Copies of this chain bind each other. A is one copy, B any other.
């Protein structure tokens, strides 16, 4: 089944504004922080930290391209812009093409893969073009150099900030969800055995059958090639900017602290490194009150409560036939529904459905009347659901969403549906399960309690480690010596080879001795016989 024409805009940010109203304490020591963010949903966590750092009295300068989807000025930081060689229209085109994979699910597997890879490549080329524009802005680069920053905060998925930090010789703090092809594991020398750590896009869990482990290892091998292909646009640019040959991994390795935007209520437990800190749910800590109108709608839902529905900020409208399925299903449930919907409003909107151009998603999920959350499975939304203990119906669209929702389903706190095959019945069944089957709510409450039970809030932890890197000019004491070993040495293959050689030599020497002794004995016996 086809989705038809969907106008899609990659924005994906939900509630970072909520953080703005949190009361903060001033830091006793203040410094200068350079922030080089990535556009789209990646901006959420970075913006929260940038604002909080500014609020605590640090000088925070955020460098962004003049054309972007979400990036922009804030209350507590200074914005510096650089011009780029593309316009808003062509950026939107790239983003629209990026999600064509959702709209054409009926094509063959091979053509889908080719399209995904080619779209990704276009995305990476755009990122490279953005980076190149920054690096060519000599005036801006020099002004940044003269600021003598104490640290750079950046999302390394767009390696522009990491490369800039390397060039300015300023320690870098990375804030990310994870990197394609396990690049984060490679760059931190973090062990990443494929036997129980599922690779992206495999939909494996941490408990795999033999076949799944084979697939997981094949994906591990494939990833390496894909990564080289993806970051190829950057290699030449790095050389031009730094005037020497430095690989992407070498640059990423200089990251002092890695703030990972996940925790183990969603991810499967796996090895870590000392310079990794976990700030999953950084976006759901602080809530704002609902507007009077929304509050009245929500409270009017009575004992049945509400369903929050958003396919992120990705899908700005939905084809009529698809939307009709949702409208029909919603008209048959006793709950009230708040739907992030930016398309043309049809005539047949049921009374219990409220369409909104922007949804205060985190605040709605945090309302005691929230009963279910229909989501596309972006990590921000999922963590908001976990944070507030709301079971989910999940409609993954693309990217890491299929893996995310699979992790949620594994915990027994959500149901996965396919946006392509969805019907009124399957949607009703799914909503009925997560709302009325107490198992989902109980498991979700348990998961939520674990997620929220921590010694320090994720935003405070992120700020602490950013300030730590600024105060101590890095975090060298957390940098493993493994960075100085090559692959053979790291796995001790040279040592094992040497030991086997010794064993071989000793065995051969012993055999030789035995054979000599034997020959002598034989000779003596023969001689005696001859005598």
Point out residues on A near B: beta carbons under 8 Å.
190-191, 193-196, 205-207, 210, 213-214, 217, 264-265, 268-275, 446-447, 449-450, 453, 455-456, 460-461, 464-465, 468, 471-472, 477-482, 484-485, 489-492, 494-496, 498-499
Contacts and interface: CB of A to CB of B under 8 A. Distances in A.
Contact of A273 (B213, B272, B446, B485): B272
B195 A482 contact: yes
B481 A206 contact: yes
Contact of A455 (B213, B453, B464, B490): B464
Contacts of A461: 455
A206 B472 CA distance: 22
A485 B264 contact: no
Contacts of A265: 477
A117 B147 CA distance: 60
A481 B482 CA distance: 25
Given A193-B482, A455-B456, A455-B464, 15 more contacts: A193-B492, A194-B495, A195-B485, A196-B481, A196-B485, A210-B495, A213-B494, A214-B499, A217-B496, A264-B274, A269-B274, A271-B480, A272-B272, A450-B472, A455-B455
Nearest to A447: B477
Q: Which of A207, A275, A477 has the most CB of B within 10 A?
A: A477
B494 A269 contact: no
Nearest to A196: B481
B271 A271 contact: yes
A472 B453 contact: yes
B271 A273 contact: yes
A490 B264 contact: no
Nearest to A464: B455
A453 B471 contact: yes
Contact of A460 (B446, B450, B455, B484): B455
Q: Which 8 A-B pairs have the closest CB atoms?
A: A206-B481, A191-B191, A269-B480, A455-B464, A196-B481, A271-B271, A269-B274, A272-B272
A491 B213 CA distance: 11
B479 A269 contact: yes
Given A213-B495, A455-B461, A492-B195, A272 B271 contact: yes
Nearest to A273: B271
26 contacts: A190-B271, A191-B191, A193-B482, A193-B492, A195-B482, A195-B491, A195-B495, A196-B482, A196-B484, A207-B481, A207-B484, A210-B498, A213-B489, A213-B495, A214-B499, A217-B499, A269-B478, A269-B481, A271-B271, A271-B273, A272-B273, A446-B472, A447-B477, A453-B472, A455-B456, A455-B461
Contacts of A275: 269
Contacts of A489: 195, 213
A213 B494 CA distance: 10
B274 A480 contact: no
A446 B270 CA distance: 32
A485 B270 CA distance: 14
Contacts of A217: 492, 495-496, 499
A210 B493 CA distance: 11
Nearest to A265: B477
A15 B6 CA distance: 68
Nearest to A453: B468
Given A264-B477, A270-B274, A456-B455, A490 B449 contact: no
Contacts of A482: 193, 195-196
A446 B205 CA distance: 43
Centre residue among A191, A214, A455 by max chain B CB count within 10 A: A455
A273 B206 CA distance: 15
A195 B484 CA distance: 11
A275 B194 CA distance: 20
A197 to B, nearest CB: 9
A494 B206 CA distance: 17
A480 B269 CA distance: 5
Contacts of A269: 273-275, 477-481
Residue among A265, A271, A478, A499 having the largest count of chain B Cβ atoms under 10 Å: A271
A270 B477 CA distance: 11
A483 B64 CA distance: 45
Contacts of A491: 193, 195
A265 to B, nearest CB: 6
